[in-house]
Structure 1
Amino acid sequence: MARDYASRCPVSPLRHTVLVAAVILLVAQGIRAQKVRVEEELEAYPTESVDLRCQFIDGGGRTKLTQVSWIWEPSDGIRDNIAVYHPHYGQSFPNSAFKDRVVFLHNSLENPSIRISNLKMSDAGRYTCEYATYPSGNEQGTTTLVMLAKPKNSAKVVTVQAGTKSVVVAQCEAADGKPAATIKWLASVGGNHSTSTTNGPDGTVTVRSEYRLVPTPTDDGREVTCRVEQRTQEQPWVYPVKLSVEYPPSVSIEGYDNNWYVGRSDAELLCMANANPAPTTVTWTAASGSLPDTVVVDGNKLTVRKVDDAVNTTFICEVKNKHGASRHQITTIVIEERRQVTPGPSTGAVIGGILGALAFIGIIIGVIFYVRKRLEDDEGPPKHRPPPPVKAGSSTEMLNKPSAPATENVPLSSREVYYETTGPVTNLDDDISGALNGGAPPVLDDMVRYDDEFKDHDNEFDPSNHELPPAANIARGESFVSPAMYV
């Protein structure tokens, strides 16, 4: 596209010559500007000093320097000489605003740097170091001096009254700064802010910001934070402000426990008020008229020296501040006898109970695991252990108690079998054999365990060849007793 356009619109020879001449002129100016070396920009603060450096660079050494001048150009654009140096006539400071504040650092045309002391904000502007030379004419370089000013930051609260309209509750200001500061608000309360700026005669700027909200009593004492950011500050300036919202009193009466019995001494009522500013007066009265003789008032505290029927009334507390008054009342009832109040458990007792319950649960779990371990250990070959004692008259209970179903179809050799009987034994082998085959239980004087006492009958009776009575027979009251009943 560009090639096509160039082919359609060729540059004329005259126009080409002008362009080349402009480029040469710009290059020449750049070369000339490089002969006077200065700093492009400097920053400084009021009351400080600044050095404006200038040096003439002549590569060929064929330029003759005749004079050098420093020219100040403020923001309004009016140029004026502030310092002149001539090798024969010496130094000159024609501008009275800089007199006694400007000096040459070197008495040399090649290095005519100057120092300006006790700077002012109005000193900001462009400073040009200009040489009068032969044969090339004037050569110059310009330095821009930027004057900076740290703002004077402040924040304050504005005391307001609770209401329904949005009002200013806090102010923040960054005064006389350059460049202008930025103000932000950090707040948890609902509100908004507005910002304004004012330019000073010396180039500084004052920034003011106001925080607004609809104040309520709950906003009193809450914080909003002013944050100021500005170029000259290493870090933001942060200042918290506590809001001050004034409101009339709200009143409550505390201390009545529904146990004002006849003869009780030093019963008290407290008049509690929430107000800003603090209450100026607190007044106690009684609905029945004047306060009883046994009542003593001390500020917001009412004390009944001795309770009697005279204090069976309604007490009224009224509180005032500059924004209004508020009252609260309570009716006290005198009873004949003291009520017994059962104190509730203390926190320590509750915690102790919880810990005790946890310990008890731990013990139960331990016992369960222990019993399960014992049951697992008891499985296997029969162990010889003495039968548990049986009280007289317990045969009927044992006969009527069914055995646990878990004992069915378990070989006799892996368990211990007990029989409870009530009569004399005539033939032990026959009775045991008959019982195992579903017959009547043997009759014994006491509980007998088939154990080493009957090892002489092993040749005649082999428990492993017999099956245990079915569960249905045991449920009918037969005398077989599961070993699980004695574990």
Structure 2
Amino acid sequence: MARHDARNVPARMIGLLFFAASILLRHGTSGQRVKVEPELASYPGQTVNLRCAFPDPTGIQLTMVTWIYEPKDGERMNIAVFHPSYGPNYPESQMKGRVTFKPSPPELSSPSIEISDVRMTDEGRYVCEYATYPDGNEQGITQLVMLAKPVNSATTVAEVAGTKPVVVARCESRDGRPAAKIRWVTTAKGNWTETSKTGADNTVTVTSEYRLAPTPTDNAKDLTCLVNHRTQLKDESLPLKLTIRYPPMVEIEGYDNNWYLGRTNVGLLCKANANPVAHTVQWTTMTGQMPDTVLPKENELKVLKVDNSVNTTFVCEVKNSIGTTREQITIHVRATRLPHKGATTGSIIGAIIGVILVMAAIGTGIAMYRKRKNKLNSEGPPKYKPPPPKKTSSSKKGSQPLIPGNVPVTQDAPLQSQYYSTQTPEPVTDLDGYQEDGVDDELEAHDGEVYFSSAPSGWNDPKNNDVPPPYMLTNSDLQDNNGSLPVSRGDSFISSAMIV
């Protein structure tokens, strides 16, 4: 039995769901049958047309249509009724005489109405309700919005500086519909509050007040009220400047701490910042007696000549409608003047330092340029070509050995180590000319032997005639230390170390 009931539960649930869906579908379809405009907007004095239609009455019978007005505050009322058999009727209402069916005579399938000379109190909901059979009443709702462009204004409130927040500006959007929205733009550190009031004709007046604890620095600050309303294409901007009143703020200028006996053409200046502007400036002294050499005039105190009587305290007293402020300064008269510091000392020092830096930069640049230039020159091929070695003249064929001029030669030293040759034959030079032009006349002595230090052809000293000429071979083979054969002229070789 339990199993049988469990099997029937899904079937029952499915049936209930289908029934609920049919009800919802029917109501949803019927709610869409009455065609109206969701919202209309109008200004006072205009004529509005509230349209209503039942375009598809298939399966039902339309018996009557009624227009109902529902104000925001108050009871609903019938303003127009149409029956196909009895015609139109307009019950007592605030719109009687101003509301009619359109077209006339009306049609039950499209019973639109027209309201002329609309008023602000006509704003609300308008219901087009059909009496049908067998479904009953069906309806559509139109919201009528009455518009009224507000009158916007803004003004500042002059307040005295203090520590408590007060209203310093006020912005008002008067007699608008719907209610306007107000905001403030400023650098002042405050906040605002907003209130609204509905008038007898259903318009709304919105007032916004800006509050802050005013200080003298807030005076003349920019403050802008922005009003947003449906009737405006953009926010209306109302610029203001804050007006903060405060007593004078006094400062004395002109004393440089270098008033010495006999100094002339000095003075003091009493500067005051106040709102409203100060109307009185008075100079006094702490002793009550003004020196004879001092001439006060408005906010300026002229000292014709500094003497000991000026060695006192001067007081400047400034008044405006808010209050009085006193400021004082004590003068110390010196016997002699302080050393004068040139006004351009700092400039001169700075110029000297600048010149030094510029010269250092130029010198560094030149040194780097020369270093780079020398580096480039050293990397390239050598520009200096050493002179070719001098040759001796001889009637014999072959090469003549060369002896360096600055190296003394002994009999024990092998002559082979004194040869020098290039890879290519060099032209033989004129040794007689060499003797006259290139040889130093100074003789050098070495081990008791005198010879020309630069003689290219060998020994010229008659004491050593038994020494064989350098081009002749000795008893031993002329070999270098490595045992190589003698090298003839024209062959390349690397000479071994020479023993001196």
Normalised by the size of structure 1, how large is the TM-score? 0.61
User: Corresponding residue for 1:344?
Assistant: 343
Closer, same or farther: CA 288–459 of 1 in aligned 2, 3 Å: farther
Give CA deviations for 1:193-240 in whole Å, capped at 9, x if unaligned: 444454555555555444444433334344555555566655555556
For residues 324-373 of structure 1, the C-alpha deviation after alignment (integer angstroms, 9 at most, x for no partner) is 32212223455677667343239987886676455434411221123313
SS in 2 for 1:106: strand
User: Is the partner of 1:272 in helix, strand or coil?
Assistant: strand
Q: Taking structure 1 as reference, are residues 10 and 40 closer, same or farther at Cα in structure 2, changes over 3 Å only?
A: same
Aligned to 2:37: 39
- Aligned in 2, Cα 1:466/1:160: closer, same or farther, shift over 3 Å? farther
Identify the residue that residue 322 of structure 2 maps to in structure 1. Answer: 323
- Matches of 1:30 and 1:114, distance apart in 2: 25
- Aligned-pair distance for 1:374? 5.0
Deviation, structure 1 residue 271: 0.5
What amino acid does structure 2 have at the position aligned with 1:319? V
SS at match of 2:271: strand
2:40 counterpart of 1:51: no
Distance 1:264 1:274 in 2: 30
Q: 1:260 to 1:129 in 2, by over 3 A?
A: same
**Aligned match of 1:145:** 144
Over residues 106-155 of structure 1, what are the superposed CA-to-partner deviations in whole Å (9 max), with x where a residue is unaligned?
33423443443443332122223456889999775432223355555544
Say whether 1:286 aligns with 2:310: no
3-state SS of 2:344 partner: coil
- Secondary structure of 1:248's aligned partner: strand
Q: 1:36 to 1:381 in 2, by over 3 A?
A: closer
**Structure 2: distance between partners of 1:151 and 1:87:** 45
Q: CA deviation at 1:316?
A: 1.4
CA pair 328-173 structure 1, distance change in 2 beyond 3 A:
same
Residue deviations 1:87-123 (CA, integer Å, cap 9, x gap): 9998776556435654555334234434434433321
Cα–Cα, structure 1 residues 131 and 459, in superposed 2: closer, same or farther, change >3 Å? farther
Distance 1:299 1:49, change over 3 A: farther
Q: How many residue pairs are counted as aligned between the two chains?
A: 396
Instruction: Give 3-state SS (helix, strand or coil) of 1:297's partner.
Output: strand
CA pair 330-150 structure 1, distance change in 2 beyond 3 A: same
User: What amino acid is aligned across from residue 278 of structure 1 in structure 2?
Assistant: V
Matches within 5 A, 1:398-477: 430=444
- Secondary structure of the residue aligned to 1:143 is strand
Match of 2:158 in 1: 159
How far off its partner does 1:253 sit?
A: 0.8
Q: Percent identity?
A: 47
| Conserved? CA contact 2:170–2:210, under 8 Å | yes
Tell me: CA distance 1:325–1:39, structure 2 relative to 1, closer, same or farther (3 Å).
same
Instruction: Decide whether the 8 Å contact of 2:316 with 2:326 is kept in 1.
Output: yes
Greater shift, 271-280 or 170-179, is seen at 170-179
Q: Alpha-carbon deviation of 1:39?
A: 1.4
Between structures 1 and 2, the one with greater helix share? 1
Structure 2: runs of 5+ lacking an equivalent? 386-439, 447-451, 459-494
State how far apart, in whole Å, the 2-side matches of 1:291 and 1:132 are: 104
Unaligned runs of 5+ in 1: 385-425, 434-453, 468-487
The corresponding residue for 1:270 is: 269
Q: SS at the partner of 1:142?
A: strand
Change over 3 Å in CA distance of 1:8–1:232 after alignment to 2: farther
1:425-463 Cα deviation digits (max 9, x unpaired):
x986759x9xxxxxxxxxxxxxxxxxxxx9967889xxx
Secondary structure in 2 matching 1:291: coil
Which letter does structure 2 place at the counterpart of 1:322? S
Contact 1:157-1:242 within 8 A present in 2 as well: yes
Per-residue deviation, residues 246-294 of structure 1 (Å, max 9, x unmatched): 3332322112234545665543321012333322311111334343455
Alpha-carbon contact 2:47-2:114 (below 8 Å) kept: yes
What residue in structure 1 maps to residue 71 of structure 2?
74
C-alpha distance in 1 between matches for 2:348 and 2:6: 101
Residue 322 of structure 1 deviates from its aligned partner by: 3.1
More off after superposition, 246-255 vs 164-173: 164-173
How do 1:184-333 and structure 2 match up within 5 A? 184-185=183-184, 188-200=187-199, 205-223=204-222, 226=225, 235-236=234-235, 241-260=240-259, 266-305=265-304, 307=306, 310-333=309-332
Taking a change above 3 Å as real, the CA distance of residues 35 and 328 of structure 1, as seen in their structure-2 partners, is: closer
Structure 1 residues 17 and 330: CA distance shift in structure 2, 3 A: closer
- SS of 1:328's equivalent in the other structure is strand
CA distance in 2, matches of 1:429, 1:116: 145
**TM-score computed with the length of structure 2 as normaliser:** 0.59
Distance across 1 between alignment mates of 2:156 and 2:114:
45
User: Which is higher, the Rg of structure 1 or of structure 2?
Assistant: 2
Deviation at 1:82, TM superposition (A): 3.7
- Return the alpha-carbon distance in structure 1 between the equivalents of residues 442 and 86 of structure 2: 155
